Amino acid sequence: GLISLEFLNLCNNNLSGAIPKSLEKLLDLKYLIVSFNRLEREIPTEGCFSNFSSTSFMKNFSLFGPPRLLVPPCKNDIQENSQMNILHALRYGLPTIGIVAVLIVLTIMYRRCQSRSTTLPIEDDLLSLKTLRRILHAELSQATNGFEENNMLGSRSFGYVYKERFSDGMEVAIKVFNLRTEEAFRSFYIECDAMRNIDHRNIVKVTTCCSSVDFKALVLDYMSNGNIKKYVASAIEHLHNGHPTPLIHCDLKPSNILLDEDIVAHVGDFGIAKLLGECDVMKQTMTLATIGYMALGSVLRLDEQLTSRLEESFCLDDMMTLRLDNTMPHHDVAT
């Protein structure tokens, strides 16, 4: 009898529980209505159930089944879909995230390298001169008796200059920078950059340097005869025209022109020098030059190569106008 059942209407009978899967065996069942009950769990999908529509199961408590019956999908399908979504996200998301992360890291590294290369030279490239040897802070301190005042040759805005004698008897001048000021810190690198390729008999040579986080010093040839007030055209001509990158000293004055044991003049102190490279780009520290010997471009902020060279020639002429009473050139400037 039930096997040949064709129509079954159980609508609004307060039925609960699951729809029996045994109903799938009723092959002659053409119409089934179980709406408005409290049925739950999965709707059978085999046999006669493959022909039923959503109207057969509407308004029940918690039925699950295929999308065509307009009921929520089965929990297994939800879990399976969720897993598929996660797999798709991992498959396409992880490579994208990895590429973005690599690009970010490369960008940060590039900017750091670019910042270091444009602001401060690399320590190993500070001086490409023929150095006597690697010098340590302890050696400098020992040779100058802890940088005693008795060994001091002079003091300037950047720091102090000391006389030192190495164990081999060689005398040198130690230029110690006061790193508590930003100008002195930058002046150290500017002077290294300016002097590493300069080689001229009238220019004080930097033989080596000592550089650490909290101590920076230059070791220079010691000029035993002190400084003089003399025109040093040979050195300036070499700086302007005898080198691939023209160099403007910016602080020519008698005390920056020194004599060695053979009474040969040397131009020193390149702490505020200008390097005239391609496109007239200049490197310069923020330290001001000595009033009266300052290049006009330092005041007027002119950066043309020709103007800078004429200014330095003007400074040389100005330096030679020192009167016998040692009056400085800036004393004649009208106020």
Residues 248 and 131 in one domain: yes
This prediction has a pTM of 0.40
For residue 14, is it within any domain? yes
Separation in Å, CA 289 to CA 6, 41, 54, 156, 270: 111, 91, 94, 11, 11
Residues 108 and 129 in one domain: no
pLDDT of residue 117 exceeding 50, the answer is no
Residues 55 and 189 in one domain: no
Name the active-site residue from 221, 251, 269, 318: 251
For residue 333, is it within any domain? no
pLDDT digits (tens, 9 = 90+) for 247-297: 787 777 777 878 777 777 788 888 888 777 644 444 444 444 554 555 555
What's the mean pLDDT in 158-183? Answer: 82
DSSP state string for 11-35: TTS--EEPPPGGGGG-TT--EEE--
Name the pLDDT band for 308 (thresholds 50, 70, 90). Answer: low
Catalytic-residue membership of 214: no
Residues 135 and 16 in one domain: no
**Last residue in a domain, options 14, 44, 73:** 73
Q: What is the pLDDT of residue 282?
A: 46
- Measured in degrees and rounded to the nearest 5, phi and psi for residue 193 equal -65, -35
Residues 21 and 102 in one domain: no
Residues 98 and 155 in one domain: no
Q: What share of the chain has pLDDT > 70, as a percent?
A: 68
For residue 330, is it within any domain? no
What's the mean pLDDT in 88-92? Answer: 71
Name the pLDDT band for 82 (thresholds 50, 70, 90). Answer: low
**Last residue in a domain, options 119, 149, 184:** 119
What's the mean pLDDT in 203-209? Answer: 82
E runs forming strands in the chain: 7-9, 16-17, 31-33, 38-42, 62-64, 152-155, 159-165, 171-177, 206-211, 216-221, 247-248, 257-259, 265-267, 274-276, 282-283
For residue 329, is it within any domain? no
Residues 143 and 63 in one domain: no
Name the pLDDT band for 121 (thresholds 50, 70, 90). Answer: very low
CB atoms within 10 A of CB 39: 20
Residue 195 belongs to domain spanning: 123-324
